[in-house]
Amino acid sequence: MRESFLLCVAKRKWIKTTDSLHPYPRFPNLVKDLAISFLNQVWLADITYIRILTTFVYLAVILDALSRKVIGYAISKRLDTGLTLSALRMAITQRQPPPGCIHHSDQGVQYAFRGLCQRA
């Protein structure tokens, strides 16, 4: 293979991290046509996974939409609401957002919580 300049590319297993077909309330996209002009106006949330030696862990991250700075994160072996709430609590502690701050996510089941957020 080396003599023929061929590479072996390992196929990665795709891991689904979004379950949008849940029975919990889903809210309209408040960010679609919004002009973001100040810090703590919109927070963007997402989940990914990180492969480690024998398995993988999930990483939940919250970014400020204007600065693109990470303001909250959490790592866990479990993909659940506790993971996303930990990241949100860190962001709230770091930034102490004003009323009206929008928490924007893909609306997967991990983000179906209400205790710390209120609908705008």
pTM: 0.74
Residue with tokens 């659940």: 80
Report d(CA 107, CA 84) in Å as an integer. Answer: 12
pLDDT at 120 over 60: no
Strand partners, 49: 58
Across 81-110, average pLDDT: 89
1 token code pair: 């293979």
pLDDT in tens, 11-63: 666 666 555 666 667 777 888 888 999 999 999 999 988 988 888 899 999 99
pLDDT tier at 3 (50, 70, 90 boundaries)?
Answer: confident
pLDDT, one tens digit per residue, over 71-82 is: 999 999 998 889
Cα separation, 79 vs 49, whole angstroms = 9
Burial 23-34 (b: 16+ CB within 10 A, else e): eeeeeeeeeeee
Q: Where are the domains of the chain?
A: 42-111
